[in-house]
Amino acid sequence: MKFFIDTADLTEIRDLAATGMVDGVTTNPTLVAKAGRDFIEALKEICALVPGPVSAEVTALDTAGMLREAEKLRAVAKNIAIKVPMTWDGLKACRTLANDGVMVNVTLCFSANQALLAAKAGAAFVSPFVGRLDDISQEGMELIADIRDIFDNYPALETEILVASVRHPAHVLEAARIGADVCTIPPNVLRQLIRHPLTDAGIAAFLADWEKSGQKI
Protein backbone atom coordinates (compact mmCIF):
# COMPACT_ATOMS: atom_id res chain seq x y z
CA MET A 1 0.00 0.00 0.00
CA LYS A 2 1.27 3.44 -0.91
CA PHE A 3 1.51 6.20 1.68
CA PHE A 4 0.54 9.72 0.70
CA ILE A 5 0.96 12.57 3.19
CA ASP A 6 -2.13 14.69 3.80
CA THR A 7 -0.63 18.12 4.38
CA ALA A 8 0.64 21.28 2.72
CA ASP A 9 3.29 21.85 5.40
CA LEU A 10 6.65 21.87 3.62
CA THR A 11 8.60 21.18 6.81
CA GLU A 12 6.58 18.05 7.52
CA ILE A 13 6.81 16.82 3.94
CA ARG A 14 10.56 17.38 3.79
CA ASP A 15 11.14 15.54 7.07
CA LEU A 16 8.93 12.56 6.24
CA ALA A 17 10.16 12.30 2.64
CA ALA A 18 13.65 11.67 4.03
CA THR A 19 12.37 8.35 5.44
CA GLY A 20 11.48 7.05 1.99
CA MET A 21 7.90 6.47 3.19
CA VAL A 22 6.23 9.20 1.14
CA ASP A 23 4.79 8.04 -2.19
CA GLY A 24 2.74 11.17 -2.80
CA VAL A 25 0.96 14.13 -1.20
CA THR A 26 -2.65 15.25 -0.98
CA THR A 27 -3.63 18.85 -0.38
CA ASN A 28 -6.90 20.75 -0.20
CA PRO A 29 -7.89 24.39 0.34
CA THR A 30 -8.18 23.87 4.11
CA LEU A 31 -4.66 22.43 4.40
CA VAL A 32 -3.21 25.19 2.24
CA ALA A 33 -4.92 27.84 4.38
CA LYS A 34 -3.43 26.26 7.52
CA ALA A 35 0.03 26.30 5.96
CA GLY A 36 -0.27 30.05 5.29
CA ARG A 37 1.51 29.79 1.94
CA ASP A 38 0.77 30.91 -1.59
CA PHE A 39 -0.97 27.90 -3.13
CA ILE A 40 0.95 27.71 -6.41
CA GLU A 41 4.35 28.36 -4.82
CA ALA A 42 3.69 25.72 -2.17
CA LEU A 43 2.69 23.21 -4.86
CA LYS A 44 5.91 23.84 -6.78
CA GLU A 45 8.00 23.11 -3.70
CA ILE A 46 5.99 20.02 -2.78
CA CYS A 47 6.29 18.61 -6.31
CA ALA A 48 10.05 19.13 -6.18
CA LEU A 49 10.27 17.22 -2.91
CA VAL A 50 8.01 14.30 -3.82
CA PRO A 51 8.27 12.54 -7.20
CA GLY A 52 4.91 10.81 -6.78
CA PRO A 53 1.41 12.27 -7.35
CA VAL A 54 0.60 15.56 -5.63
CA SER A 55 -3.14 16.20 -5.50
CA ALA A 56 -4.19 19.83 -5.98
CA GLU A 57 -7.87 20.63 -5.63
CA VAL A 58 -9.91 22.90 -7.86
CA THR A 59 -12.34 25.31 -6.22
CA ALA A 60 -14.77 25.92 -9.11
CA LEU A 61 -18.06 24.05 -9.01
CA ASP A 62 -18.86 24.01 -12.74
CA THR A 63 -17.09 21.86 -15.31
CA ALA A 64 -15.75 24.74 -17.38
CA GLY A 65 -14.38 26.45 -14.28
CA MET A 66 -12.77 23.24 -13.06
CA LEU A 67 -11.06 22.75 -16.39
CA ARG A 68 -9.75 26.33 -16.41
CA GLU A 69 -8.30 25.92 -12.92
CA ALA A 70 -6.95 22.47 -13.79
CA GLU A 71 -5.03 23.99 -16.70
CA LYS A 72 -3.22 26.33 -14.30
CA LEU A 73 -2.53 23.57 -11.79
CA ARG A 74 -1.23 21.18 -14.46
CA ALA A 75 1.36 23.76 -15.45
CA VAL A 76 2.96 23.57 -11.99
CA ALA A 77 4.58 20.14 -12.45
CA LYS A 78 4.17 16.85 -14.27
CA ASN A 79 3.29 14.97 -11.07
CA ILE A 80 0.22 17.10 -10.27
CA ALA A 81 -3.02 15.16 -9.89
CA ILE A 82 -6.13 17.30 -10.27
CA LYS A 83 -8.58 16.82 -7.43
CA VAL A 84 -12.25 17.32 -8.35
CA PRO A 85 -15.39 16.88 -6.23
CA MET A 86 -17.82 13.99 -6.49
CA THR A 87 -20.46 15.85 -8.53
CA TRP A 88 -21.76 15.49 -12.06
CA ASP A 89 -19.69 18.50 -13.08
CA GLY A 90 -16.70 16.99 -11.32
CA LEU A 91 -17.14 13.71 -13.18
CA LYS A 92 -17.44 15.53 -16.51
CA ALA A 93 -14.22 17.37 -15.76
CA CYS A 94 -12.64 14.07 -14.70
CA ARG A 95 -13.49 12.42 -18.01
CA THR A 96 -12.17 15.36 -20.04
CA LEU A 97 -8.91 15.49 -18.07
CA ALA A 98 -8.45 11.71 -18.07
CA ASN A 99 -8.90 11.65 -21.84
CA ASP A 100 -6.05 14.17 -22.00
CA GLY A 101 -3.78 11.91 -19.93
CA VAL A 102 -4.14 13.83 -16.67
CA MET A 103 -4.22 12.09 -13.29
CA VAL A 104 -7.50 12.90 -11.53
CA ASN A 105 -8.40 12.34 -7.89
CA VAL A 106 -12.16 12.35 -7.30
CA THR A 107 -12.66 13.44 -3.71
CA LEU A 108 -15.46 13.48 -1.11
CA CYS A 109 -16.59 9.94 -1.89
CA PHE A 110 -19.04 8.49 0.65
CA SER A 111 -20.61 5.53 -1.15
CA ALA A 112 -19.56 2.58 -3.29
CA ASN A 113 -21.86 3.79 -6.08
CA GLN A 114 -19.98 7.11 -6.13
CA ALA A 115 -16.68 5.25 -6.32
CA LEU A 116 -17.94 3.22 -9.28
CA LEU A 117 -18.97 6.42 -11.08
CA ALA A 118 -15.51 7.90 -10.50
CA ALA A 119 -13.86 4.80 -11.91
CA LYS A 120 -16.07 4.85 -15.00
CA ALA A 121 -15.22 8.54 -15.46
CA GLY A 122 -11.55 7.58 -15.71
CA ALA A 123 -10.30 8.74 -12.29
CA ALA A 124 -6.77 7.70 -11.37
CA PHE A 125 -7.81 7.83 -7.70
CA VAL A 126 -11.06 7.90 -5.78
CA SER A 127 -10.94 9.22 -2.22
CA PRO A 128 -13.46 7.72 0.23
CA PHE A 129 -13.50 9.72 3.51
CA VAL A 130 -13.57 7.06 6.23
CA GLY A 131 -13.18 9.37 9.22
CA ARG A 132 -16.13 11.53 8.27
CA LEU A 133 -18.30 8.42 7.94
CA ASP A 134 -17.16 7.29 11.38
CA ASP A 135 -18.17 10.73 12.67
CA ILE A 136 -21.81 10.06 11.74
CA SER A 137 -21.78 6.53 13.21
CA GLN A 138 -21.22 4.70 9.94
CA GLU A 139 -18.35 2.25 9.50
CA GLY A 140 -15.95 4.04 7.18
CA MET A 141 -13.80 0.98 6.56
CA GLU A 142 -16.83 -1.01 5.40
CA LEU A 143 -17.00 1.39 2.48
CA ILE A 144 -13.38 0.61 1.59
CA ALA A 145 -14.16 -3.11 1.65
CA ASP A 146 -17.20 -2.62 -0.58
CA ILE A 147 -15.24 -0.59 -3.12
CA ARG A 148 -12.42 -3.14 -3.11
CA ASP A 149 -14.90 -5.96 -3.80
CA ILE A 150 -16.52 -4.06 -6.66
CA PHE A 151 -13.28 -2.99 -8.31
CA ASP A 152 -11.90 -6.52 -8.06
CA ASN A 153 -14.92 -7.76 -10.01
CA TYR A 154 -13.91 -5.61 -12.98
CA PRO A 155 -10.19 -5.76 -13.82
CA ALA A 156 -10.69 -3.13 -16.54
CA LEU A 157 -11.24 -0.52 -13.81
CA GLU A 158 -7.81 0.92 -13.07
CA THR A 159 -8.87 3.50 -10.46
CA GLU A 160 -6.90 3.25 -7.22
CA ILE A 161 -8.67 3.37 -3.86
CA LEU A 162 -7.18 6.24 -1.88
CA VAL A 163 -8.31 6.04 1.74
CA ALA A 164 -8.78 9.59 3.05
CA SER A 165 -9.89 11.31 6.26
CA VAL A 166 -7.61 8.97 8.21
CA ARG A 167 -7.83 9.67 11.95
CA HIS A 168 -5.68 7.03 13.66
CA PRO A 169 -3.33 4.07 13.03
CA ALA A 170 -6.21 1.57 13.07
CA HIS A 171 -7.53 3.15 9.88
CA VAL A 172 -4.17 2.52 8.21
CA LEU A 173 -4.06 -1.09 9.41
CA GLU A 174 -7.59 -1.83 8.19
CA ALA A 175 -6.92 -0.16 4.85
CA ALA A 176 -3.89 -2.39 4.35
CA ARG A 177 -5.78 -5.53 5.39
CA ILE A 178 -8.61 -4.77 2.97
CA GLY A 179 -6.17 -4.09 0.14
CA ALA A 180 -6.61 -0.36 -0.47
CA ASP A 181 -4.10 0.97 -2.97
CA VAL A 182 -3.22 4.19 -1.14
CA CYS A 183 -3.72 5.69 2.30
CA THR A 184 -3.30 9.43 2.68
CA ILE A 185 -2.15 10.06 6.21
CA PRO A 186 -1.74 13.19 8.34
CA PRO A 187 1.88 13.53 9.51
CA ASN A 188 1.01 12.98 13.18
CA VAL A 189 -0.76 9.70 12.39
CA LEU A 190 2.11 8.47 10.22
CA ARG A 191 4.50 9.06 13.09
CA GLN A 192 2.25 7.08 15.41
CA LEU A 193 2.66 3.97 13.24
CA ILE A 194 6.18 3.36 14.51
CA ARG A 195 5.32 3.59 18.19
CA HIS A 196 4.97 0.59 20.49
CA PRO A 197 5.69 0.49 24.23
CA LEU A 198 7.58 -2.81 23.92
CA THR A 199 9.92 -1.25 21.35
CA ASP A 200 10.67 1.60 23.77
CA ALA A 201 11.12 -0.82 26.67
CA GLY A 202 13.41 -3.04 24.62
CA ILE A 203 15.64 -0.13 23.61
CA ALA A 204 15.85 1.05 27.22
CA ALA A 205 16.77 -2.46 28.41
CA PHE A 206 19.45 -2.91 25.73
CA LEU A 207 20.99 0.46 26.53
CA ALA A 208 21.03 -0.32 30.24
CA ASP A 209 22.74 -3.66 29.63
CA TRP A 210 25.28 -2.04 27.32
CA GLU A 211 26.06 0.60 29.93
CA LYS A 212 26.74 -2.15 32.48
CA SER A 213 29.18 -3.83 30.10
CA GLY A 214 31.42 -0.76 30.13
CA GLN A 215 32.07 -1.11 26.41
CA LYS A 216 31.91 1.41 23.57
CA ILE A 217 31.53 1.11 19.82
Q: 106-112, long-range: CB within 8 Å, 24+ apart, which pairs?
A: 107/28, 107/55, 107/57, 107/83, 107/164, 110/86, 110/143, 111/143, 112/143, 112/146, 112/147, 112/150
- Amino acid at position 136, single letter: I
Q: Choose the catalytic residue: 72, 78, 83, 212.
A: 83
Whole-angstrom Cα distance, residue 42 to residue 55?
Answer: 12
- Helix ranges (DSSP H) in the chain: 10-17, 29-35, 39-49, 63-74, 88-99, 112-120, 130-135, 140-153, 169-178, 187-192, 197-213
Assess whether 72 carries a catalytic annotation.
no
- Helix ranges (DSSP H) in 124-196: 130-135, 140-153, 169-178, 187-192
The catalytic residue positions are 83
